[in-house]
Amino acid sequence: MNSVRVGRKSVTPAAGQCVFCGIVERRQPSNIVYEDENHIAFLDIAPFSEGHLLVCPKKHGETIWEMDESEIGELFMLASRISRAVVSAVHADGFRFVQNNGEAANQVVAHVHVHVIPVKFADRGRFMDRKKFTSEELTEIASRIKNELNRP
């Protein structure tokens, strides 16, 4: 499939330097909470809230335009499924899906991803800023989310 770029500028790094492909291939450390044949989900390293994670197709593509409709459907179905586990794991009151395409949309990593961002009533109306968690805290949060996902 042709690479369709959003806007004038691409955020695509040189092939082989994609951070998310690095996570898929275990060249980059990350807190993975879910993986199947075609998808991977892991905690955002600079989260807006406890449990903020990214759901990605394993196949590299810069924007959602590089995916076919069934792939897009599967990605969002999975994001929806994972959102339930995350909301439960961190006792959130709601969640956001954010899916940025192109530099103008503040897409930082040029590999399609859906942000799942849990939100709480307590944070309502507050400016969303990046939170700091220790690696121990992130490991613990990831393990709670995995437990929720494995619940029958």
Q: Which of 48, 139, 43, 128 is nearest to 82 (CA)?
A: 43
Question: 148 vs 101, 105, 115, 123, CA distance in Å?
Answer: 29, 32, 18, 23
Q: Can you give the binding site for Zn ion, defined by CB under 5 A?
A: 18, 20-21, 60, 111
Q: How far is the CB of 111 from Zn ion (least distance, A)?
A: 3
Supply the DSSP symbol for 65: G
3-state secondary structure of 125: coil
Is 113 known to be catalytic? yes
- Among the listed residues 39, 52, 111, 113, the single catalytic one is 113
Q: What positions carry a catalytic annotation?
A: 113
